[in-house]
Structure 1
Amino acid sequence: MSIRNQKDFAAGLIYVLAGAGFSLGALEYRLGDPARMGPGFFPFWVGVLLAIVGLLTLAGGVRRTAGVEGVKRLEIGPMAWILGGVVLFGLLLQPLGLVLALTVLVLVSSRASHEFTWRGALINAAALVAFSTAVFIHGINLQIPLWPVALG
């Protein structure tokens, strides 16, 4: 057995490890059954499904008919932009509110792409703000500020 598609093999391995981690972590909680689900039921089965998808992806990487593809070099810069955007969102949500924190998230994260344009990022931010406001503020009445505390 040889690994023909290293990219699929590595992705499958990550899925299997993540799924196993979720499933094993969920065993710390009561699972219950489908009629009376416990707090560990959903994460356990999501982990199992993720591990199954991982096994299928992993198997695709060792198939004889798989295209030969290597794993590319790790891009630290784009990962830092995306992670930085998420961290900023978490730090800015309470003081600035959902609208401004999401805008910062999208603008910072979009710098990770070589196709970055301010116009596209602002359009994406507006769409995400509209969707998130509709779902989280108006739909499920999540108690987070929409605007900075100083304004309201």
Structure 2
Amino acid sequence: MNIKSQKDFFSGLMFMGVGVAFAWGASTYSVGTGARMGPGYFPLVLGVLLAILGIAITFTALVVETEDGDKIGKFAWKPLFFIIAANLVFGASIGGLPVIGLKPLGLIVGIYLLTYIASHAGEEHKFKEVAVLATILALLSYVAFIVLLKLQFPVWPAYFTA
């Protein structure tokens, strides 16, 4: 077996792994039928489709010839760190960290923090562009989650309320 595209081969394996994990996790829930779907139906179907996609990509990587073999480059630690950190900070800002006495910072502050931290994952960082993006995301998130979906979570920092 000769791998003709390393990127596609390992991407396909990743898709298969995630798909199998979702399908396996969904097996603990009631699946139901197509007409009366249970809580496990969607993750099961999504997991199976993802695994099938992974199989197709892996097969293609073994069959279709590429110019340079699509070698895998070095691991991108910086983007991985900043994206994970941005999501953790966002989660902590929405829910707060009562263990250390941090009250919720709210949706708006959380989105600004998320956008600013995640922007460091790229090669260039322009503060003005990040501020515009964060403002647009905060506005759209407020409209989608608070106004339209009427979700109940803090919008502004708890420090501003009584």
Q: TM-score, normalised by structure 1?
A: 0.94
Note if 1:30 corresponds to 2:30: yes
Residue deviations 1:96-121 (CA, integer Å, cap 9, x gap): 10000110011001101002211121
Counterpart of 1:145 in structure 2 is 154
Give 1:150 shift.
Answer: 2.3
Percent identity, aligned pairs only?
34
Q: Please give the alpha-carbon distance, in whole angstroms, between the structure 2 residues aligned to 1:48 and 1:116.
A: 39
Give 5+ residue unaligned stretches, structure 1.
Answer: none
Counterpart of 1:99 in structure 2 is 108
Q: Please give the alpha-carbon distance, in whole angstroms, between the structure 1 residues aligned to 2:134 and 2:107.
A: 11
Residue deviations 1:49-88 (CA, integer Å, cap 9, x gap): 1111111221221123334211111111221111111111
Aligned partners of 1:60 and 1:66 also within 8 Å: no
Q: Please give the alpha-carbon distance, in whole angstroms, between the structure 2 residues aligned to 1:35 and 1:141.
A: 28
Counterpart of 1:49 in structure 2 is 49
Q: Please give the alpha-carbon distance, in whole angstroms, between the structure 1 residues aligned to 2:63 and 2:139.
A: 44
Give 5+ residue unaligned stretches, structure 2.
Answer: 96-103
Residue deviations 1:19-65 (CA, integer Å, cap 9, x gap): 00100110111100011111100100010111111112212211233
The amino acid across from 1:104 in the alignment is L
- The aligned runs of 1:3-152 (5 Å cut-off) are 3-67=3-67, 68-94=69-95, 95-152=104-161
Q: Please give the alpha-carbon distance, in whole angstroms, between the structure 2 residues aligned to 1:31 and 1:105.
A: 35
Give 1:2 shift.
Answer: 0.9
More off after superposition, 54-63 vs 131-140: 54-63
Aligned residues: 152
